[in-house]
Amino acid sequence: MQQDPNASLVGTECEVEVGPVAHGGHCVARTESGRVLFVRHTLPGERVVARVTEGEETSRFLRADAVQILEPSKDRVEAPCPFSGPGKCGGCDWQHVKPGAQRRFKGEVVAEQLKRLAGLTPEEAGWDGTVVPAEGDKLPAGQVPAWRTRVQYAIDAEGHAGLRKHRSHEVQVIDRCLIAAPEVTELGVEKREWPQIASVEAIASTGSTDRQVVLTPKPGGRLPIVELDKPVSVLRVGEKDQQIHRVHGRPFVRERAADRTWRVSEGGFWQVHPKAADTLVQAVMQGLMPRKGDMALDLYCGVGLFAGALGERVGEKGAVLGIESSKRAVEDARHNLRDLDRVRVEHGKVESVLPRTGIDKADVVVLDPPRAGAGKQTVRHLASLGARRIAYVACDPAALARDLGYFAEAGYRPVTLRVFDLFPMTHHVECVAILKPTGNRV
């Protein structure tokens, strides 16, 4: 009898020896027939029973969960969070892993991406192979740093708050998120019901006592009266325009980093870890070493974090241009940097705005692109400006490695790479690469 090539394999189980960690919070294993499995909730070297969660007979690879640990790794611990595990919350990839091993595995992923996509060894990238924890995050096994200052809660059909399951729209109802910052937990979002609401984003500023919730009603849903355990501003996402509107309180939160106060409006982007902004500014400025009189670029500049740090350092004879695609973030950046007349912030996509500026030379550049990276066109344009140093801030090592390959083609190479564990218990890392011209620029 011929097998249906589209037959689902979901739910089937097999015993496997687990191989190396891979980008995405899982490990690679193979079935006896040679089929590749991407397995979550396991560790390299373990022997487990894996249950398929996605895939068909014709799939190139299958996704699976380790539902039984037959031979555990010495790096395994009991997951501190009761909502972590197969079929549960998809937010944390590494609750079951000792903190030091988490950082080691993240380093292995970064090294693998550099080699595969950029053809670079850690030494060639100027990296010593370490993944550095944020201040205060180096905790014993079994303890979880409470670092997440912005949490997006999904609401189930009964109005209970929770978090999405891995690669699913299903909601895992929770009574507490262990990695949420104390100031988020204090709001008590999980304690109350949210009828007619699809999601609740809770934001706790690290630079002030500002607290904010952004509510997304279900289609046709009415906004409830919001009474949480701490004073909080309330915003809502409009059903028709998908824009964020103030309901009551401030439409922004005030953050503190690089010795400045930053206005971040209407749920706009800010680094989620309370130590991240200062950590990244320090790494970028140490790498760029900006000088008085420099012409500097801050691309994908958000509310102006790096532009502000550069503006302080280039002096009155220097100049900084920031470019950002979010109109609200540009308004915030101009407000935040209004005392620095040498800083100008333009609205639009980098690949569109930068060529129109007429700038044909820059001394130093920082770019912090979205997860997809900057891309070949933007990289080639930046290389043509002849900067003596470029700082590339990346939240995705694959995108970083791809763009480093493009920089190499355009005559720039990394001289230092630093990797920071700013997302403990997850597979994510933040990287800062400093590039210099090779002398063979095209």
Spatial distance between the Cα atoms of 27 and 129, rounded to a whole number of angstroms: 20
Q: Name the residue among 105, 86, 89 with its Cα closest to residue 97.
A: 105
Return the amino acid letter for 304. Answer: G
Q: Are 50 and 14 in contact (CB under 8 A)?
A: yes
Residue 192 burial by CB count (10 A; 0-12/13-18/19+): exposed, middle or buried? middle
**Structure tokens, 355:** 């060529």
Residues paired with 435 in a beta bridge: 390, 414
Query: SS3 string of the chain?
Result: CCCCCCCECCCCEEEEEEEEEECCCEEEEECCCCCEEEEECCCCCCEEEEEEEECECCCCEEEEEEEEEEECCCCECCCCCCCECCCCECCCCCCCECHHHHHHHHHHHHHHHHHHHHCCCCCCCCCCCCEEECCCCCCCCCCCCCCECEEEEEECCCCCEEEEECCCCCEEECCCCCCECHHHHCCCHHHCCCCCEEEEEEEECCCCCCEEEEEEECCCCCCCCCCCCCCCEEEEECCCCCCEEEEECCCEEEEEECCEEEEEECCCCCCCCCCHHHHHHHHHHHHHCCCCCCEEEEECCCCCHHHHHHHHHHCCCCEEEEEECCHHHHHHHHHHCCCCCCEEEEECCHHHHHHHCCCCCCCEEEECCCCCCCCHHHHHHHHHCCCCEEEEEECCHHHHHHHHHHHHHCCEEEEEEEEEECCCCCCCCEEEEEEEECCCCC
Longest dimension (CA), the chain: 79
The per-residue pLDDT for range 329-382, each reduced to its tens digit, is 999 999 999 999 999 999 999 999 999 999 999 999 999 999 999 999 999 999
Q: Are 182 and 156 in contact (CB under 8 A)?
A: no
**Structure tokens, 353:** 């705005």
Q: What is the pTM of this model?
A: 0.95
State the pLDDT at residue 402: 98
Spatial distance between the Cα atoms of 359 and 165, rounded to a whole number of angstroms: 46
- Average model confidence (pLDDT) across the chain: 95
State the pLDDT at residue 3: 59
**CA of 254: how far to CAs of 134, 228, 257, 261, in Å?**
21, 20, 10, 6
Q: Name the residue among 410, 418, 401, 397 with its Cα closest to residue 438.
A: 410
Q: Are 429 and 102 in contact (CB under 8 A)?
A: no
**Is residue 230 predicted with pLDDT exceeding 80?**
yes
**Structure tokens, 110:** 């970064």
Spatial distance between the Cα atoms of 203 and 349, rounded to a whole number of angstroms: 27
Spatial distance between the Cα atoms of 341 and 315, rounded to a whole number of angstroms: 10
**Structure tokens, 427:** 């597979």
Residues marked as catalytic:
395
- With tokens 């325009």, the residue in question is 241
Q: CA-based Rg of the chain, rounded to a whole angstrom? A: 23
**Is residue 239 predicted with pLDDT exceeding 90?**
no
**Is residue 29 predicted with pLDDT exceeding 50?**
yes
The per-residue pLDDT for range 115-155, each reduced to its tens digit, is 999 999 999 999 999 999 998 888 888 889 999 999 999 99
**CA of 222: how far to CAs of 17, 152, 158, 189, 210, in Å?**
51, 19, 15, 18, 25
Residue 318 neighbours by CB under 8 Å, 6+ apart: 290, 291, 292, 293, 294, 295, 296, 311, 342
Spatial distance between the Cα atoms of 400 and 390, rounded to a whole number of angstroms: 13
Backbone angles phi, psi at 258, to 5 degrees: 50, 40
Instruction: Tell me the mean pLDDT in the region 402-428.
Output: 97
Q: Residue 442: which pLDDT band, with cuts at 50, 70 and 90?
A: very low
Return the amino acid letter for 57. Answer: E
What is the DSSP pairing of strand 197-204 with strand 319-324? unpaired
The per-residue pLDDT for range 60-118, each reduced to its tens digit, is 999 999 999 999 999 999 999 999 999 999 999 999 999 999 999 999 999 999 999 99
Q: Residue 296: which pLDDT band, with cuts at 50, 70 and 90?
A: very high
State the pLDDT at residue 270: 96
Q: Residue 241: which pLDDT band, with cuts at 50, 70 and 90?
A: confident
**Structure tokens, 133:** 């924890």
State the pLDDT at residue 1: 42
> pLDDT higher for 40 or 440?
40
The per-residue pLDDT for range 272-288, each reduced to its tens digit, is 999 999 999 999 999 99
Work out the percent of the chain whose per-residue pLDDT is above 90. 90
State the pLDDT at residue 5: 67
Q: Are 264 and 332 in contact (CB under 8 A)?
A: yes
**Cβ atoms within 10 Å of 199's Cβ, excluding its own:** 18
State the pLDDT at residue 26: 97
**Structure tokens, 283:** 């790494």
